[in-house]
Amino acid sequence: MRGKEKKIFCIEATVLLIALTTVPIVCSGEDPLPYWLEGTILDGNTRVLIIMNGNMTEGIDPNEYDVIISFDEALAIESDARAEYIEIYGVDPLANINPVTYNEVTWPTGNIAQEQNASPPEQEPDYIPSSYPSPHTINGKLILFVTLPINKWKPSSPIYCGMMSVLGFDAFHEYNGVYELSTFIDMSHWDADDVGFGWDLGGLLDDLAEDMRNWVNEPSEQNRIYVGWVSIENARWGLANLGDHFSVVNALAMYEIPPLGTIVTHEISHNFHADDHDWWWPLPMCVMHYLWVALHYKGWCSDCHNVIQSCIVGT
C-alpha cells in the first residue's frame, strides 16, 4: 500500500478502533472496579520482597528491592486495603477464596467462600523435561520464591499465595540434609504481560523461567526454587519443569476445596525429578498421584522419596 492510501487507511482503522473500544464502556455506564491493592506497595509498582519465614543473611541481594517487609506487615496492608475496599465499593475482593490458616493466622477471615464447581483431577503429565541442572540444598538450605506476575494473570491475594506455598514447601522438611526452608514472596521481577494464552500454563512456565533464569545461574544460587502463581479460570492446576527450578500454580484451581498447598508440594517434587504416578491401580499413598493431591495428602511413597532424597541434597 502506498503512502497516502496507507495514511487514510490508518486513520479509518484508528477511528474504528476507538469506536470499538469506547462504545461498550459508554453503553455499560460503569467503570470496572479498580484492583483492590491499587495504591498500596503491593500493587506491582514497587519492588517488594515479603519475608514469609527464614532470615535474610544469605542469598538475597537487598539492592534488588525497594522495600523488604515481613509477613505481618504485608498481612496488615492487605487487611487495611480489603476493609477500605469493602467500605467504598461494597464488594469483598477476596470473597471467592477459601480461607487458609498458617502460623495461627487465617486469611482471608470472616467470609465463606462460594462453592466452586468440582472438576476431576488432571490425568495428563504436568511437567516438561529440562536440560538445566536441578535445584539442591546449599548448607542444608533451600529458598522458595513465591513469584507473582507484575500485572497480567496476577492472583488476588499475594499473602494467600505465600501461605499456601509455605504449607506445601514445609513438607520437604522430612528429607535428610534439609535443615532450613525459607520462603519469600517476590512481586516485582516477573513480567508475564507478553504471555497471550494461559490455559495450559505452558507459556507462563516458559516465561517465568525466561524472566528468572539469571537468578539461578550461579552455583551459589542453585538452592533457589521459583513457584509462579497465576489466576486463570478453568485452567489446569499446575505445571513444572522436571529437574529445574520453576513451576506455575493456578490460584483458581477448580475443586471444592482447592488443594493449593498440596499442588505446590507436587510441582516442587517434579523439580527434584519425581515423576507422576499412573492414574490407575495401584494407588500408592503419594503426592505424585493426583488422587492424593486432591485429598490434600502431602507425603511420598518410598520410590518417590528416594528419587527426591538423592536429588535434593545434590548427589
Residues that bind Zn ion (CB under 5 A): 126, 276, 286, 288, 301, 304
- Judged by CB, which is closer to Zn ion: 77, or 287? 287
Over the Cα atoms of the chain, what is R_g?
A: 21
- Judged by CB, which is closer to Zn ion: 164, or 301? 301
Cα–Cα distances (Å) from 304 to 273, 282, 286, in that order, read: 9, 15, 8
The full DSSP string for 159-193 is HHHHHHHHHHHGGGGGSTT--EEEEEEEEEEE--T
Q: How far is the CB of 124 from Zn ion (least distance, A)?
A: 9
- Judged by CB, which is closer to Zn ion: 75, or 286? 286
- Judged by CB, which is closer to Zn ion: 230, or 263? 263
Cα–Cα distances (Å) from 242 to 64, 128, 260, 271, 311, in that order, read: 28, 6, 19, 5, 12
- Judged by CB, which is closer to Zn ion: 51, or 301? 301
Residue whose entry in the numeric block shows the C-alpha cell 477471615: 109
Q: How far is the CB of 307 from Zn ion (least distance, A)?
A: 8
Question: Residue 281 gets which letter from DSSP?
Answer: S
CA nearest 71: which of 39, 45, 42, 44? 42
Q: How far is the CB of 36 from Zn ion (least distance, A)?
A: 32
- Judged by CB, which is closer to Zn ion: 43, or 276? 276
| The three cell numbers locating residue 285 | 499413598
Q: What torsion do the CA atoms of 96, 257, 183, 267 make, to the nearest 10 degrees? A: -120
